[in-house]
Amino acid sequence: MLKVNEVKINYLKEPMGITDSPQFSWILDSDKKNVVQCAYRLQISTMQSFDALVYDSQKVDNEESAHVFADGFLPESATKYFVRVKVLDNHGEETAYSEPAAFLSGLISNDEWKASFISAESKEDTNHSKGTYLRKELTINKKLKQATAYTTALGLYHFYVNGEKVGEDQMAPGWTSYENRLLYQTHDITSCLKEGDNALGAHIGAGWYKGAMGFQRKQSIYGKQAGFLCQIHLQYEDGSNEIVISDDSWLGCESPVVFSEIYDGEIYDANLEQNGWNLPGFNDSHWQRSEALLVDHKILVAQPGCKVKKIESLPVQKIFKTPQGDTVIDFGQNLTGWISFKVNGKSGEKVILNCFEVLDKDGNVYLDNLRTAKETLEYICNGDGKTIYEPNFTFQGFRYAKVASYPGELLAENFTAYVVHSDMEETGTFSCSNPDLNQLQHNITWGLKGNFLDVPTDCPQRDERLGWTGDAQIFCRTASYIMDTYTFFSKWLKDLSADQTPEGGVPHVIPDILNGVIDPDPHMAQEAHSATAWADAAVINPWTLYLVYGDKKIIHNQYQSMKAWIDFMTDHSVDGIWSYKQQFGDWVALDAEEGSYLGATPNELICTAYYAYSSGLFAKMAKAIGMDEDYQTYWQLHKDIVSVFKKNFFTEDGLMTAQTQTAHIVALYFDLVPEKYKEQTAKSLVALLEKENGHLVTGFVGTPYFCHALSENGYTKEAYDLLLKDDFPSWLYQIRKGATTIWEHWDGIKEDGSMWSADMNSFNHYAYGAIGDWLYRVVVGIEADEQEPGYKHFMISPHIGGGLAYAKGTFKSVYGEISVHWQRDGKTIQLEFTVPVNTTATLVLPEIDQIITDDGIKFIKNEDGYEGVVGSGDYLVTYTIL
């Protein structure tokens, strides 16, 4: 039976705030094999009954079930639409119409904004990070058909209607290049309003906008007053319309949030609470009129989805006393979010919690790696009885909390940790017979959860939490197996474009608060931009999204940004060798000189390798969208750079000029090795590995590709051996030391329990988690095909090894779930796999002896093993390996 499942709009299930012609996708299920969509019919209506069609494609003879556009359709502002589709397949079977999907449009033109930004703060509040309330009452005398609210803030906000918080958003509107792009949120508030009197309320905090940020904790980077913007479109049953706006008639006052900032936590004084402040009929005679702020509406951009939310909750695992006598709560997992607690204290009594990541070697509270970040929650009781508190405008990175003060009996059931991050669908799973690798996968996933809070931060705990481009570039492919990152990364990449220098340079962090805003870190030059492998996020991340999702829109959106970055490198290269001012090199590699963070691999080699790699990727993307002239130009540039690399970084006898692991890794993985020296270069890499007793000494540049460079060149056993090392330095060393996330340093905690350092030692730093894509791409063997991106066609090629008895993984592509499960019994392998409807796959079985059962697959033997092309369906193949 053929069925349409899960219709999505712009990769989202029910987006709020669509402002352009959306794209549609759907997943098909069938109990048959080799099923391909032959035709579809897509309908859009303003009524769930589909009695009022605004678009009907009629029958379209096309097999594409993703990236489908409704030609000529453009939504109208403040309108809810319903979408459904039915499909015909190559077996002549036709589905019924799918269950309707829905989306709500934003304001199509920024000229439609009538509201003003308003503030309850004064200019004297510039250096204060307090909370403020804003409120407005309105009366509705007619029956409502639809009510849509558009809201955002200069700072952070919670929006209320009649005392109830609207939506599940947290840390809204997020962090963007505020001077260029400020996201607004769209809410359907029809059910929140009633005939008669209503109240609108907003609670505003400083957030990234005006809190103290960066290495020097500079205040009010973007503005001096936190503000709020609200515009509500009311559509009545009688056909009339009304718009309610924020303006200086709204009233404001200070809230019980005495202090709240990203790094330091929050102080909340319950004695300042005003019960009913966001309800109709509240006595606000002592409140002040708000102040209208001058802000250009041109910067406003709708946010359809991927908003920050409370995703899950964790209970207390234990409460214990440290040797120093501190009371500590342990949630058992390093996470990003906050702690909610219940308390019943007398007026003036306090709850004070100091959040932190790890215990020191003696089992005591360790705060040094937070640097100046306080990560403290302070609640002042008002004596009104038992209450529940959770923070409003901050988040913490922690596993533990020191209880500095708590009135009454300390019970585990009174504390809950909420895991907070951008709302992304989980798309990948991996497990195997080795429990340490399963824990590694767990740690990688939790590193993603901990650092994908609106921007891809480097770490969630210390006084940094910045959108470092290098970390995001390194981890992008792995992240895109684990979760649907398209909306998350495409949003961030727009900020990258906005913050590029006029010459095309790419800042180290996005949003950029280093260049011309705050004094850089002592380790940085004055120009905090254009470091190789960091700035290359401008090209590598769009390429990864294109490869994983098959969506050319990301190429169009980022095209000028990518081109500008390639041209920047060209403008600053000399005879094809690229290196620009300050570089991070192979950051925190273990082959660095004493006292240095920079690895031993020369900057010129790393820079030129990435110059070649990024120019080649850009050329491929230019070709994909029909920019043939650019393709020719930049592909030739790519070939020229490759020639320069081969000439300058290989000797006449084929040895690399830099005898480091990272030099060999990037040369092999980026395909920069002269063909006749490939085998020799791979052998040299293995020799360098053996020189370190099978250990890596790589940093941010070499580590992500190490296992790939080995397995792609015939050294799968060595790749497994490297992965499975459990002494320092290795991925599994951290697990042996009790890690629940990925660490910034291989020996963040040393063998004797002492710390690597205090100044830069995050225990939730996802970059080295980039090994995750090797688990998916090689161990279980789910690999994209760049000739048919988006997994329309893909490869399945599991590499058996590592002493594993089994490995299994799933990846939910835009076409449906791919699954692979292999089990080993001696030399016999049983392989089960699933190919989604409307896709095909090439099965490649390497190092194979013979096929026992082929499940009808026609295999061809070649130098790589056995290969066969399959259509959709479930398959079972057994074979023996050499």
pLDDT digits (tens, 9 = 90+) for 525-557: 567 999 999 999 999 999 999 999 999 999 999
**258 and 124 in a common domain:** yes
- The pLDDT tens digits of the residues spanning 783-838 come to 999 999 999 999 999 999 999 999 999 999 999 999 999 999 999 999 999 999 99
Residue 523 pLDDT greater than 60, yes or no: no
Instruction: In whole angstroms, give the CA distance from residue 522 to residue 508.
Output: 14
Domain harbouring 797, CATH code: 2.60.420.10
**143 and 288 in a common domain:** yes
Residues 6 or more apart whose CB falls under 8 angstroms from that of 133 comprise 120, 201, 202, 203, 204, 252, 253, 254, 255, 274, 277, 278, 287
- The pLDDT tens digits of the residues spanning 688-732 come to 999 999 999 999 999 999 999 999 999 999 999 999 999 999 999
- Residue 851 pairs in a beta bridge with 879
In order, the DSSP letters of 110-165 are: GGG----EEES--GGGTT----EEEEEEEEE-S-EEEEEEEEEEESEEEEEETTEE
Q: Give the per-residue pLDDT at 524.
A: 58
- The pLDDT tens digits of the residues spanning 461-512 come to 999 999 999 999 999 999 999 999 999 999 999 999 999 999 999 999 999 9
Average pLDDT, the chain: 96
- The pLDDT tens digits of the residues spanning 224-245 come to 999 999 999 999 999 999 999 9
- The one-letter code for the residue type at 426 is E
**269 and 167 in a common domain:** yes
Q: Cα dist. 846→54, 279, 409 in Å?
A: 52, 67, 62
Q: Give the per-residue pLDDT at 571.
A: 97
Instruction: In whole angstroms, give the CA distance from residue 58 to residue 112.
Output: 33
- The pLDDT tens digits of the residues spanning 134-192 come to 999 999 999 999 999 999 999 999 999 999 999 999 999 999 999 999 999 999 999 99
Residue 567 pLDDT greater than 80, yes or no: yes
Residue 863 pLDDT greater than 70, yes or no: yes
Q: Give the per-residue pLDDT at 550.
A: 98
Q: Give the per-residue pLDDT at 517.
A: 65
**Within a domain: 652:** no
**Structure tokens given for 489:** 């990364």
Q: Give the per-residue pLDDT at 881.
A: 94
Among 305, 335, 365, give the residue marking a domain's end. 305
For range 844-864, the mean pLDDT: 93
**263 and 147 in a common domain:** yes
**230 and 250 in a common domain:** yes
**143 and 287 in a common domain:** yes
Q: Give the per-residue pLDDT at 522.
A: 54
Annotated catalytic residue: which of 121, 378, 464, 604?
A: 464
Q: Give the per-residue pLDDT at 595.
A: 77
Instruction: Establish whether 690 is a catalytic residue.
Output: no
Q: Give the per-residue pLDDT at 520.
A: 53
- The pLDDT tens digits of the residues spanning 596-655 come to 889 999 999 999 999 999 999 999 999 999 999 999 999 999 999 999 999 999 999 999
| Residue 795 · residue 776 · CB < 8 Å | no
Q: Give the per-residue pLDDT at 759.
A: 86
**Within a domain: 745:** no
Distance of CA 698 to the CA centre of its chain: 24
Instruction: Establish whether 718 is a catalytic residue.
Output: no
867: pLDDT confidence band, cut at 50, 70 and 90?
very high
**128 and 210 in a common domain:** yes
**135 and 283 in a common domain:** yes
**148 and 74 in a common domain:** no
Please identify which residue in the block is written with the tokens 């790749």: 719
- Structurally, the chain folds into a number of domains equal to 4
Which residues span the domain enclosing 43?
A: 3-105
| Residue 583 · residue 532 · CB < 8 Å | yes
Please identify which residue in the block is written with the tokens 């056909």: 239
**Within a domain: 593:** no
Name which of 720, 752, 756, 751 is nearest 733 in CA terms. 751
**320 and 291 in a common domain:** no
Among 280, 305, 330, give the residue marking a domain's end. 305
**Within a domain: 252:** yes
For range 740-744, the mean pLDDT: 97
**115 and 233 in a common domain:** yes
Annotated catalytic residue: which of 718, 744, 783, 867?
A: 744
516: pLDDT confidence band, cut at 50, 70 and 90?
confident
**Within a domain: 819:** yes
Please identify which residue in the block is written with the tokens 């990541």: 357
**Within a domain: 616:** no
**201 and 164 in a common domain:** yes
**Within a domain: 569:** no
**Within a domain: 87:** yes
Residue 776 pLDDT greater than 80, yes or no: yes
